[in-house]
Amino acid sequence: MNGILNVLKPTGMTSHDVVSYIRSKLKTKKVGHTGTLDPNAAGVLPICLGKATKITQYLIEKRKKYRCELTLGKETDTQDKYGKVIKESEIKVNENEIRRVFKNFLGEIEQIPPMHSALKHKGRKLYELARVGKKVDIKPRKIKVYNLDIISIKDNKKILFDVECSKGTYIRTLCKDIGRQLGPYGYMSFLLRTRVDKFDLLNAYTIEEINDYVNNNQIDDIILPIDYPLDNYKIITIKKRNKKIITNGGRVFLGKKHDVMKLYNKMAKYRIYCEGRFLGIGKIVELGDAWFVKMEKLLV
């Protein structure tokens, strides 16, 4: 069984729980997810099956979109509503101030990941250290916020917004940082992942729905092909006589450099097909004055 399942993860399950459930339900060993979603959050969690697990590294890089609620007035140690309140303020802000500060978080920004996260420090997960009261210096990381749209503001305290961001972005931390810049502190009170690249909430399947598809022997109807999320890579089609060469790790001649350099980008990755069948992800190799294509990730 090879392909990708667009799962709607419920609150209360870890991303690993979902992987374990799918592995057990579909009776397949090779199962992996494409980016952790907090246990207390719900939303889109693409699950790769079989040979599709080889492309998780490419999907993790994809943009993600969330709907989030920020509640002002308090800050917690976990930066969400489940943590212990560590700071509190009665500072009042108005809608104009809120909209002005939100604009400051568009584009490339630096973010310090929270202690209550699965990042590791000297082999131990940060949340394990946090549970025993240990603190470590965490270096800020650059992330990118592509879109940050306020949906509603209630009593100048609860702000519902959509955010589209790069990998490695902690929405909890975004809420904390916005709250601090506004003045009255803040924490994430709701989170729903609505999109991971092409995988949309509207086309995601609940655990219960997946269970029904399995019981009715229709699970293949909702498994997407391996190349579904890779359409940002251009296509190279090779001839049948070259299929064995490229699938065995060999190079296939594309042409002289001066003839093909306008057709191909040596730094790009490509989807490789033969007779309409997807073989995997390839790259350009230069040898002398000739360009070749070679498999980077074989998926057949």
Parent domain of 57: 3-62+198-226
Whether residue 8 is found in the same domain as residue 82 = no
Task: In whole angstroms, give the CA distance from residue 8 to residue 196.
Answer: 12
Task: In whole angstroms, give the CA distance from residue 25 to residue 171.
Answer: 31
Whether residue 161 is found in the same domain as residue 83 = yes
Nearest to 156 by CA among 174, 173, 133, 179: 179
* CATH number of the domain bearing residue 250: 2.30.130.10
What angle do the packed helices 15-26 and 207-215 form, to 10 degrees? 10
Task: In whole angstroms, give the CA distance from residue 119 to residue 264.
Answer: 38
Residues 6+ apart with CB under 8 A from 278: 225, 226, 227, 271, 272, 299, 300
Residues 6+ apart with CB under 8 A from 76: 82, 83, 84, 85, 86, 187
Whether residue 146 is found in the same domain as residue 129 = yes
Whether residue 80 is found in the same domain as residue 163 = yes
Q: What's the total number of domains in the chain?
A: 3
Whether residue 142 is found in the same domain as residue 250 = no
Whether residue 221 is found in the same domain as residue 126 = no
Per-residue pLDDT at 113: 82
pLDDT-above-90 percentage for the chain: 83
How confident is the model over 157-206, as pLDDT tens digits?
999 999 999 998 999 999 999 999 999 999 999 999 999 999 999 999 99
pTM over 0.85: yes
Whether residue 42 is found in the same domain as residue 146 = no
Look up 155 and say whether it is catalytic: no
Nearest to 219 by CA among 12, 47, 65: 47
Per-residue pLDDT at 131: 65
pLDDT-based confidence at 135, cuts 50/70/90?
confident
Structure tokens of 274?
Answer: 């033969």
Whether residue 34 is found in the same domain as residue 96 = no
pLDDT-above-70 percentage for the chain: 93
Domain boundary among 169, 190, 211: 190
Beta strands in 157-276 (DSSP E): 158-165, 186-196, 199-200, 234-237, 251-256, 269-274
How confident is the model over 26-78, as pLDDT tens digits?
999 999 998 889 889 999 999 999 999 999 988 888 999 999 999 999 999 99
Annotated active-site residue in 17, 38, 177, 289 = 38
